[in-house]
Amino acid sequence: MSPTRAGRLLYERACEVLRLLEETGRQVTAIGRHDREGIVLGLTNGFANVVGRDLVLHARRDLPTVELSVVEERSVVLVEALERHEVDVALAYEVHERPGLLRVPLLEEETLFVTAPDSASRRRAKPSDRGRGRRGSRPIKFAELVTHPLVMPGPRDGVRQQVLATAKRLALPLQVTLDVSSVSMMKNMVARGDAAAIMPYGNVIEDIRQGTIVGRRIADPPLKRTMYLVRPMSRAAFEEEGGILRLIERMCRQYVDTLGELATPLAALRDGALHAAATTAA
């Protein structure tokens, strides 16, 4: 099904009216209360873990007229919060096209196969290696990965869906022995050797640096996911639109630098075109 020309025109005009109404209400409230502009930014656990602190501190220093609130959740929860207007803008993974949402792809990121370090690797590890966040050097093939018992998050999680889809496409059985929708619990179980897992580097970066978990890249095929900047099309532009988008761009570049070979910036981030792409519907 697709809308008619009249339907598309009606939708575009409705978005314009809603943006104007929201912007007017926010401006009147700000004038009456002399408040800073409130913006709610949604982040995933891994991204917040790597650059969340710097993002908040930079916002406080560089955007004095903005009251930034950060919500940390799984991508699917952030998208639903955007649609309920509980979040103003989010950085989320594998966001499919949805009516009323503007998506800007920012970067592509590999996930890791994570396990407890064996006794031999514990003896070989040096403090300097752990301090640099060294990952396991030898990649693991997907066909080998599926032979390990796995702890995985709930059915709605994007990483789980990708793993299941890849296994189905390759006709390989998975050993999902535990379902746990808690990042901290998953890491604890991996570190204790109860099961292996497939997780973003950002979720386990400190554990790898400390040597309590070993991360290996996945090959044949690698498991990659795309991060998007997502915002409602009906959402009026921020008063500090340029400042917010520059802050997001700077933090995404810092995130890519931290992930190194595991992350690849896409056009909007690589070419400095984030502002133009993210304001298309504004």
Summarize pLDDT for 4-15 with one digit per residue, the tens.
Answer: 877 766 766 676
Summarize pLDDT for 43-71 with one digit per residue, the tens.
Answer: 999 999 999 999 999 999 999 999 999 99
Residue 276 has pLDDT above 70, yes or no: yes
Domain ranges of the chain: 5-109+225-278, 111-224
- 5-109+225-278 matches 111-224 in fold: yes
Confidence of residue 140 (pLDDT cuts 50, 70, 90): very high
- Domain at 111-224: CATH architecture: 3-Layer(aba) Sandwich (3.40)
State residue 210's pLDDT score: 94
Residue 31 has pLDDT above 70, yes or no: no
Cα distance between residue 189 and residue 192, in whole Å: 5
Q: Exposed, middle or buried: residue 2 (CB in 10 Å: 0-12, 13-18, 19+)?
A: exposed
In CATH, what class is 5-109+225-278? alpha beta
State the average pLDDT over residues 168-191: 93
Summarize pLDDT for 221-272 with one digit per residue, the tens.
Answer: 999 999 999 999 888 888 999 999 999 999 999 999 999 999 999 999 988 8
Residue 135 has pLDDT above 70, yes or no: no
Summarize pLDDT for 102-132 with one digit per residue, the tens.
Answer: 999 999 999 999 999 984 444 444 433 333 3
